[in-house]
Every structure is written in C-alpha cells, then in structure tokens.
Structure 1
C-alpha cells in the first residue's frame, strides 16, 4: 500500500496543475500565511502522501500566528500520534466552499479524514455554521453616486450589504473562526481543492466525561457521573454515537439537584439519546420524540430567528429547555448544553 501511495504521489507531482494560476496546496499554504501548518503536514509521511496524491478536497489550515498560542504541535519531525490525528482532523475528502448567502443554509455536518472516533464506523465530524451579517448600506449608496443602480429593500430603503462568515464547532466546545475562506489549490485530479484559513487549531474530541470535566459550567454533571454507579460513566464514554443534553450548573441548582441527589443514574440516562448523532442539522430533521437511555422521550424542535445585526440564526429546544451551546463534538458523538432540566 505504501508503494502504491508513493507511486501515485510521484505521478501527481509530475502532472500540471488544473489551472496555471492556481497554486498547489503547499504553495497556497505558504502564500496565505499557513506555512507552519504546511511544515506540520510535511512532517508526517502519511499526511504528506495524502496531500500530494490529492486526497484532500478541503483543508482548514491554522494561520501561522496560532502556533505561538498552541501546544498542540510542539514538534515537527516526527509527529507523535496525537499531532498526526490533529492533521487528519483538519481535512476532508470533498471540496467545501460557501458564498455570501441571501439565505444561509442550515449548519453543515462535515466528515473529516480523522478515523479515530467511536461513531459506528464513521469518521470524526465538525459542524460548520455559516452566518450572514448586514454590515452597512454605505457601499450601496456609494455605488449609486457612481452611476450604478441603487438597490432598495422592500421598505424602499437602500439595501444593506451582506457578508457571511463561518464558525466551526470542534472538540471540548471550542469554536474556530474562518478568517480567509474559499481559496483554491490545485491538486491531483480534475478539480481544485478548497483552502480555508482559520484562526486556531481544531481541538480533537474527547470522551463525554473528559469533555464535561473540562467545562467549568458542567461541574455538577461531572459530579453526577462520578457519584452514580461506576458503570454509568464507562457506559456513556464507550457507547457509540450518542447525543447528550447537559444542563448547566445553574440549571441543576434551579431544579434542586446536587451531586448527592438520589437517582443520579436515571437522571443522566434521561439526558442521553443512544444511536443518534444529533448535530444541530440532524436535530432539526428529527421526525418525532427521541427515546433516551432510560426509556423516556424528548421532543426536539427549532425556531428561526433574526438577531440584532439582522443575522439569521436557529434556536433549538429539548422539551422546554433551550440549547445555549450546541455541537460540542465528542469522541463518540455530540453534546449540547441546555439552560434547564427538560420537563417530562
């Protein structure tokens, strides 16, 4: 297999780019301020062969300034297994780009090339949320003064100029922002790849218990896991493809729940849906009540709203509990933080 990959790599190196004006991947990484990430990819034979042979359709590359703030890539040669996994987590097979949407799409669940996940045979995912924001109508008025038609909205006012930006949900609830999107790079094959420069590294997803333990507002949930029967923590950490709804400390306190409350195991199991990867796009598509691990049901629904800057957003509810932080990517699924215990 290694000989085959090397042969393909050599063949791809000998091929002309799809378009002469489109740089190759490593040229593009150096050109757009991600030379440190280029060096990291080149420090792994597996990542290097995958890049050269055209396996990467989309690359989310951390900008060079993120290296000084990160301990995730402390070395260059050779990469240790965790560092190499981070490299795979930043890449997808299919090209992914977006524009200035009038009506942005639902969040996008994007499968990466990171295969180290307990998701029933699926690779690890990220969730990309593209939002539009109205900046100002200044450029519209300026264009009108220059002799171009003035675009008006339905109220007869100068049409606002829209911009779109993307936020990416990764492990531990870390959110990564795209700072320079939709840059093409030439790769082996008939189509170009897509490069997005991001402001920091993706955080590799961890177990549910480890994830909750590293988020301060979830400390009561962590205590419930640790004080219930020992098998519950192990079960949740090792069960493939779960969706967990985790109340905040304030939500538990409002319901009078503490780490010493009896029935912790039953309570926690009622917050976890097994065999369901409920990233927010999938939550919206949930056809009916979902059955939890203790046999109770949760009704999931969403509302479409417009924010203060006229940005489009979706709010999700689990029974009467609102999701206040969605898409915390787990090693074996996804978690959402909610503002109260769902009423049954």
Structure 2
C-alpha cells in the first residue's frame, strides 16, 4: 500500500506539471481485485473468494498478483461439468472448502504479468503451489491447467491495486484429490438407471449400500435388465419383481450382486468365491483382462467396465443379471402361508399333493376358506367329507380340484382380456382380465374373483379366488351305479318290472339297493330257484311294488338323516322305516325285518344309492 501511495504522489506531481488545466484532480486510484471483479460482472468469482474466510484479505495483502479470473459463464460450465446445482454443491463436489481454496489459489500468480510481459511459452507457480502454463501469441493468450484443459483470455490487462487481472472463459482445475463418487453417483454417471430404480424399490437398501464400510458391486447394465425382463416374460421392473416372488426376492437378487469387501480386478485370482450380501456365494473368474461372474444357476456375465472406484469400494459393470437361489415356496407352502387350510385338506383327501408339487409348470386358482364354506352351504354339506359324497366321491373331488389348475404359468400380467385355458381336469376355464381385476368363470357359468394375484411359487403362480369353481361332473345314473356295484339281480328285477325309465326320470330319489346275496337270501326263504320264479309266484305288480318300496322320491344322504328312526314315503305308496345310529343306517320293512346299509352315499345324477344287505318287503 505504501508503494501505491508513493506511485500516486509521484504520478500526481508529474501530471500536475504537465497539465494546463487548473481544475485537474490527478490520476484515480486502481481498484482492488474484488472491486475490479464486481465491475467486470464476475459475481460468482467474488462469491467464491468470499466463501473462504480470510481469502479476500490475503489476496489484497499480496505485494503483487496476476489473477486469471473466470467469468460467470465459466463457473456455470464448471457446475455442469461437476454435476453441481450451485456453488455450495460445487464446493461439495470438489471435496470441501480447502479444495475450493486450492482451486482459487491456482488462478493467482504472486507476480505481475501484463500480456505485454508474456513470452510465447510461460510457466508460473501459483498461490496453490502448482504450476500454470500460459501461452501468448499475437492477439491470443491461453492458460492450460493441470488436467490439460485450455482457457482463453477474453479480457486482458485489467489493472488493480496490487497487480493485474486477466478474465478467462473457464475454471482452471489443479491437481486435487476429488472425493470419490457414491455408488448412486457412479451408477448415475454410468447410466445404470434400471439398477438405480431397482435399488430404490427396496426400502432402506440404498442407504445400507451407501453406509456400508466396504463393498464391491457387480452392476448390471440397462441392457442386462432388459434381457432379464425377456427371460421372465416381464414388461417392466414391477412385473419382474412379481415374477421372482416379490420385493424380498428383489432384495435378495440385488444383494447377490454385492460383496461386502473391496475387490479391484487386480485383486482377483484365477478363480474366486465370494459370499454376497444375500448370504449366497458368487463365483468370479479372471483370465487375463477378462473377468467373468457366475451365478447359482451356472449363468455367466462378463465385466464390461471394471474398477470404477467409489467412496466405499468399487463397481464392476456387468452385462447380465445374476440370480441367486430364490427359494420360492411350493404350492403347499404358499397355501399354508395364505391360510388356505380347507384347500390343503381337499388336496390331501384327493391325493393330489405330489402331482401338483411335481408338475413342471402350473397356475393355481386357489379358493379361500370362505369360498369352500360357501360351497358347503350350496351343497348342503357340513364338512368336506359330506361335500365329497354329494359330488360323487374322491374321483370327482380330483376333477373339481384339477379344474382349478392350468398346466402352464400365467401371471396376471400375462393375461389377455379374455383367455381360455384347458385345466388338469381336461375341461376349459375362462379367465377375464380388465382394469377392475381378474375373474374366472366355471363350466356352470359361475364367476369368481381373483382377490390376491401373482403369488409366485417354485413351479408357477397362485391366484387366490373367492369361489369354488365347478366343472361338469360325470355322475352315473342309477343303472350305471348298479352296474358299477355289480348289482345284477337288482338290475334284472328292475328290467323285468319295467321300472328303468321311471327311475331314470325321477327328479330326486334315494335308492336302497339290495345286494345280489340279499336277493338270493329272499329266494331261499321262499324256496324259489330264480328271480323269474319269484316274479311268477308274486306277479309283476307285486314285484314292482317291492322294488318301489326301495325307492324314496327325495335325496337323502346318510348324513341328511336325523338321529334315530324315521318313516319315509316310497314309490310303493307305503312308508319305510329308516334308522340312523351314529354312522350306521338300517332299514325296516312292513314285516319288521331290519337290514343294514353296507355301502352308503353313492351319488347318482338324480339322487343317491345306499346298498343294503336285504330285500325290504311292503305289505303284499
């Protein structure tokens, strides 16, 4: 400052002598660096200098300085280059205030160098302690920083109190230790947008990875994720999550790409086995400059960009999505988890468990417990056993359950508006998909709603529905049931009496059907040698009445009967006494003879057959 005052005094005296004007006031003082910067509109530079405590005073106190001062546009370009939103963000990207001070000091040479003082090639040591190269050619001055970036002087020789300012068109970068990017920043820089979306979809995973002390990440490209979508038949990441079994399995897949240790490519041996964050092992092989990653299924991916250093480890970009053992539940485990206990009981009763577990690919429309309760009510059954009896036995239960299973995998996202599937029962099921949901229509036109879709299982998918679907059940008529039970004498008697059509046309009936031995016992009691002899002896009308006495014109399964004795009307016009004692049923005829039901509840098209061990006789 003393030198400047001397200069001003000498200058004033000199110009006073030369001046002919009485009102000349002498030369004006030169501005400070900050004043000159403000006058030139270099507001960002001023803000940056003042962001470092004491830096303005330090620069002002320098005996002589040359400042290469970036324009506001130069700072704006630096923000863009560092991915910063403002100066504060740039400071963070540079690694803090100390590095900002180094950057600013790199723009200041502790000596005065007007453009006319420059040689063609010049090397200056800056206040940052690093050298700066300045090249001067006629009409052009350029400055080259530590990274080889070249700035151009756009306004030279702005004189200031303690030196000179040259305005330049870019920010000069010295050798500084820039902070390493986080995993998220590195993935963003590499364009791994799908990976970032996947990590964000798992609550807390991003923070867990960012805060981990040491990680190696095998990061799939967007193209790798696109290929995985195709493999799983998914149109987007959300569908992929569904098809691999939900967010927990997505977390497992992503964790399978992360090793909780730092392994640069140069740290790898020929073959390496790492335990990942998913708890499963991944194999990494290195041959020369080629690094290959192998997953639990034996699938391979190559590292296409290695050794991207991040704040807490390293990223290797790979061209495939690696899959751990996802350990999806089987159909039984999924049903247990969903509380579908009645369905499980039905599957067990029908002995279908192994068939479903061993199927290569299945889609199961699984009724809720409430759906089965509604089905029991519709069939007037108190429990599953009664329902089985009313629908015709275990074989028909297998048909009903098989009608809920499609031998292919169909997630809800795979469905068209209307779909027709052939089920394990061999009958077609209609599935409709719309914006309001998915519905299933059975062979009788009944519709059930999917209330929980897309439960992934080991060999397919389960959709929980609110109704039991019914196929066309092949119940026998009374003649077919008698043939199946080998009741040949009864059939002969019915034929002889001409009752076949009557029985087939009954709207509802319960038949107490005597065994062949029962008829033989009756013939022995009457000392008759054949059925024809019985007909000849009693007459056709009497035989018809006997047979009608075995038929009740209503459907009564054994569990429909009240406890104790009850009289029921028959086609013979005479009541038959039927007695239930626990699970045992007997019939008593007009003469007081009592016989046992030896096979109960054979469902037929229009009712039920109970096989009895005697021929009941009406009043003849």
User: Normalized against structure 1, the TM-score is what?
Assistant: 0.45
More helix by share: 2
Higher RCO (CA-CA < 8 Å; seq separation 6+):
1
* TM-score normalised over the length of structure 2: 0.26
Quick check: which has more Rg, 1 or 2? 2
